[in-house]
Amino acid sequence: MGDIFVVVEHRQGEVRDITYEMLFKAGQLCREYSHNLTAIILAGQNESFLDDIAPKADRVIVYEDERLNNFSGELYREILNVLIEEHRPFLTLMGHTSWGMDLGPALCAKTGYPLATDCVDIMVENDRPVVIRQIFSGKVFSRVSFKESEGYLVSVRPGSFLPEEVEARKGEVIKNELPADLPVPRKNFVEFVDTAAGDVDISQADFLLSIGRGVGEEDNIEALKELAEIMGGTLSCSRPIVDKNWLPKYHQVGTSGKSVKPKVYLAFGISGAFQHVAGITGAGTVIAVNKDKKAPIFRVADYGVVDDLFNVVNALKEKLKA
């Protein structure tokens, strides 16, 4: 029996969804393989999030210090290295986010534990983790195993698991003092800028009509805007539309935009790259329109139409105006 560590991710006083997703998956693994689930909270004074995390873990190890008010990869690396040396966890999970992409490789180098990044599933076979990753822009799933090691590190892609299904646990709380010999970080947090803020809050919309690269030209967006208005929906988009400056950043859905939970998500010309799909895991019904029948978006869609998106747009307008 060993531990599975989950590194709690938070921002501006709130626990991020990726934390609950990791707790859910870690809970499954602990139940199947008789491990203990330990959540690690590194936070500022009076910001330990215990009420949110304690019922979802067997044990919560907490460090509270003003130096941890904001994420610091250097401090996290040193603190987690001490914990890993002391507890020798079987598996340590962190989000494949800006946090995890900074922390994971550094912790791998510090501990000597092997690291698998951007994983969408985790299993255990022959007492070693086996992870699933997507390659070739999400068109192929790869199965990755580890060489034998005392412990393993995995970063989890946001949106891979369902956080609302986390089971209740006891949550023994252990509060620790920071190690006395922590180095002075070479990087300092300056400010957090929410680039997705704007006049429209797509995260609150019940119906989103979303457009992607398949729209072709900027002038074609007007037709989609008109359809969104007729249907009483809010216009959103994938990253290529924002990269081309065709719509403001606050319309973007995905890991570098916003996660959304509409009752209906209607996607026109969106291929379905994992960064985008991660942002729509909370959607009630996903309807995809794409002329490429092999587009990854169809793997997550409840309904799909293989056709030129403008044929569908025009047909809908005719029906709705009739």
- pLDDT 10s digits, 262-303: 999 999 999 998 789 888 988 999 999 999 999 999 999 999
Average pLDDT rounded to a whole number, residues 50-77: 92
Residue 91: pLDDT above 70? yes
Element (H, E) at 27: helix 17-33
pLDDT of residue 184: 87
Residue 322: CB partners within 8 Å, gap ≥ 6?
A: none
What is the rounded distance in angstroms from the CA atom of residue 313 to the CA atom of residue 233? 14
Average pLDDT rounded to a whole number, residues 128-139: 82
Bigger pLDDT: 160 or 95?
95
**Burial 215-226, CB ≥16 within 10 A → b, else e:** beeeebbebbee
Percent of the chain with pLDDT over 90: 68
What is the rounded distance in angstroms from the CA atom of residue 101 to the CA atom of residue 275? 14
Residue 196: pLDDT above 70? no
What is the rounded distance in angstroms from the CA atom of residue 266 to the CA atom of residue 108? 40
Strand ranges, E, within 239-317? 264-268, 285-289, 303-305
How far are the Cα atoms of 72, 104, 148, 193, 267 from residue 110, in angstroms, in the given order? Answer: 15, 10, 18, 30, 43
CB 239 within 8 A of CB 256: yes
| Beta pairing, strands 115-125 & 128-135 | antiparallel
How far are the Cα atoms of 111, 154, 239 from residue 89, in angstroms, in the given order? Answer: 12, 12, 37
Compute the mean pLDDT over every residue in the chain, rounded to the nearest whole number.
90
What is the rounded distance in angstroms from the CA atom of residue 275 to the CA atom of residue 278? 5
pTM tops 0.85, yes or no? no
Domains in the chain (CATH in brackets) are 3-176 (3.40.50.620), 202-321 (3.40.50.1220)
The values of phi and psi at residue 182, to 5°, are -65, 135
pLDDT of residue 161: 80
Helix residue spans in 191-238 (DSSP H):
221-231
Q: CB 192: neighbour CB atoms within 10 A?
A: 9
From the list 270, 294, 289, the residue with the least C-alpha distance to 140 is 294
CB 251 within 8 A of CB 243: no
pLDDT band of residue 166 (cuts 50, 70, 90) is low
Residue 164: pLDDT above 80? no
- What confidence tens digit (pLDDT) does each residue in 209-240 have? 999 999 999 999 999 999 999 999 999 999 99
| Beta pairing, strands 140-145 & 207-211 | unpaired
pLDDT band of residue 1 (cuts 50, 70, 90) is low
Three-state SS at 156: strand
CB 247 within 8 A of CB 241: yes
